Amino acid sequence: MNRESLRAHLGDAFLVAILIANFACGAVLILTGGFEQDGSLPVGVPGTGFRLTIHPKGMLGSFLLLNAAAFLRFRTRRREAAEEEKGRMEERLERRMREMSQAHIDLVAHHKITKRMLQSRTTEEVFDALVDGIAGSYGFHGTLAGKVSEEGFLVFPGETDPVTGAPLRVPLWDPQSLIARTFWAGSNVLHRAPLDPPHLPDEEPILGSAPAYFLPVMRRMKTRCAETKNCGVRTCPNFLSENLRCWLDRLSPHSFAPGADPEDFRDRILDCLGCPVFPSSGILVIRSLPEGKAVTPESVRPIASLSPEAELALEVVSLYENMKIMAVTDGLTGLFNHREFYNTLRRELERARRYRHTISLLVIDVDDFKAFNDRFGHPAGDLALRKIAELLRKYARATDIIARYGGEEFAVILPESTPAGALMVAERIKAEVGKFNFVQNMPGTVQLTVSIGIYSSEGGEVSEDQMVSLADEAAYLAKNSGKNRVAVKANV
């Protein structure tokens, strides 16, 4: 109760006391005296000889004055109470307006960040949109983003090593790391004192001593395991599964306890991080800085809702990347498709003309593939084509470009390759394909052979259609010469 309210209550009590005293005095006077003929009331105190004559008009006046004072007082108090209630209502309304205004600001910021994330086409752009939005729109200037690297580290470009100057890295296989444990937990966490739990000394510049909010960012999978890994093993129980959680079976919860040995589960963790099915992409660390907003449970509440939006944005990025891959690759073998083969051959011919290089082309035709399909079925034929594609990747040069031309035909572009070098690559491919067993569960060996045609162009002085036609004529010649052969087309 404030001073003004106390003063008002005391005034009310004083006025009530006067009224009670007035009525009490009137009652005493009536009981102790008698009215005279003129209407006056003589009042005396027994034993003292004191007498007082009270006239009715004076008594009536005093009653009227006291009642008027009481009426005015109660009216004033009612007005004051109404003013106080009005002030409280205005204060509540103003507070509600401030909350609505802040909610509107947060909603606009959320919309801007989400829009920018959904317009991103790479994972780096998604994280940049998150960091810039949280720092610029929400005022958390100490926001850092750690992204998963191929080596199994969380890399924080915003913090550098004071000795090497390289971005700080946190090993995701080390259970002593607070950031790694939070990453694997997969849920948002507010640490009021980040340096109190077990942690690595190298991550102290990232954690800081002030409260910090950790926001793991996951990538939701909406594709099947077989589609993601280009797997043809239909007997696998996860062949048609979506949103796998296979790493939960491979990684024991004990591997993330602070006292565990970092090397016990390192290989398994790195295998999961390198698998395309694994969904995690990184983690955000929102820190309290003197020049920015303080991290509290109330202040970070709007940020927590950004995590599902980031997941959706990463899913869009994944779909965009898959769409780009699907546009240029063959769905069965994962090699370049017919369209991308011609685009690549056109670029390589232009480069050969510019730098006067030799370019070679292999056209590879699988022998008697229809008979193989008729005998073992089309699923076995699909697996055979996929295996031939793997052999081509393995035994071609690193600079060679491999494509599925169509059906059971493949093509290999060999930039800067002489005819002799192209012949060597073709013979190696023919030999490795010819000795491979393509049906493992059959007695004996089931082999396939290939016929390969080669054409080499000096300086790329042919069109892509002419080069394919000449190499295809050589493959046709090899097939008609007994199959399982390599034929070279002479320069025209």
pLDDT in tens, 356-409: 999 999 999 999 999 999 999 998 999 999 999 999 999 998 899 999 999 999
Beta carbons within 8 Å of 308's beta carbon, 6+ residues apart? none
pLDDT at 58: 61
Name the strand (E) or helix (H) holding 180: helix 178-185
| Mean pLDDT value across the chain | 82
CB atoms within 10 A of CB 61: 11
Contact 366, 417 (CB under 8 A): no
The model's confidence at residue 350, banded by pLDDT at 50, 70 and 90, is: very high
Bridge partners of residue 413, in order along the sequence: 361, 401
pTM over the 0.85 mark: no
pLDDT at 302: 87
The residue among 120, 121, 122 whose CA lies nearest residue 133 is 120
**In the predicted structure, residue 251 carries a pLDDT above the cut 80:** no
**In the predicted structure, residue 268 carries a pLDDT above the cut 80:** no
| Cα 334 to Cα 326: distance, rounded to the nearest angstrom | 9
Name the range with the highest mean pLDDT among 3-17, 217-231, 433-447.
433-447
The residue among 297, 308, 299, 266 whose CA lies nearest residue 180 is 266
Contact 254, 263 (CB under 8 A): no
The residue among 474, 483, 449, 448 whose CA lies nearest residue 360 is 474
Contact 130, 308 (CB under 8 A): no
| Cα 228 to Cα 277: distance, rounded to the nearest angstrom | 7
Residue keyed to tokens 């983690």 = 283
Residue keyed to tokens 């002593």 = 176
Which range among 37-46, 72-81, 304-313, 320-329 shows the weakest confidence by mean pLDDT? 37-46
pLDDT in tens, 174-203: 888 899 888 888 788 999 988 888 888 888
Helix (H/G/I), strand (E/B), else coil: 209: coil
The model's confidence at residue 341, banded by pLDDT at 50, 70 and 90, is: very high
The model's confidence at residue 205, banded by pLDDT at 50, 70 and 90, is: confident
| Cα 460 to Cα 351: distance, rounded to the nearest angstrom | 8
pLDDT at 483: 93
pLDDT in tens, 94-103: 988 988 888 8
The model's confidence at residue 226, banded by pLDDT at 50, 70 and 90, is: low
| Cα 134 to Cα 142: distance, rounded to the nearest angstrom | 9
Average of per-residue pLDDT across 67-90 = 77
pLDDT at 124: 86
pLDDT at 427: 95
The model's confidence at residue 105, banded by pLDDT at 50, 70 and 90, is: confident
**In the predicted structure, residue 272 carries a pLDDT above the cut 80:** no
Q: Which backbone phi and psi does 192 adopt, to 5 degrees? A: -70, -30
The model's confidence at residue 463, banded by pLDDT at 50, 70 and 90, is: very high
pLDDT in tens, 414-451: 999 888 999 999 999 999 999 999 988 878 888 999 99
Query: Would you state the structure tokens that stand for residue 202, as one six-digit string?
Result: 């190298």
| Cα 448 to Cα 432: distance, rounded to the nearest angstrom | 10
Contact 127, 116 (CB under 8 A): no
pLDDT at 190: 92
CB atoms within 10 A of CB 385: 23
The model's confidence at residue 157, banded by pLDDT at 50, 70 and 90, is: confident
Q: Between 9 and 424, whose confidence is greater?
A: 424
**In the predicted structure, residue 56 carries a pLDDT above the cut 60:** no
Which range among 238-247, 350-359, 419-428 shows the weakest confidence by mean pLDDT? 238-247
Average of per-residue pLDDT across 54-73 = 64
**In the predicted structure, residue 37 carries a pLDDT above the cut 80:** no
The model's confidence at residue 322, banded by pLDDT at 50, 70 and 90, is: confident
| Cα 436 to Cα 449: distance, rounded to the nearest angstrom | 9
pLDDT at 250: 60
CA atoms within 13 Å, Cβ hemisphere of 79 = 6
Q: Between 288 and 244, whose confidence is greater?
A: 288
**In the predicted structure, residue 148 carries a pLDDT above the cut 60:** yes
Q: Between 307 and 402, whose confidence is greater?
A: 402
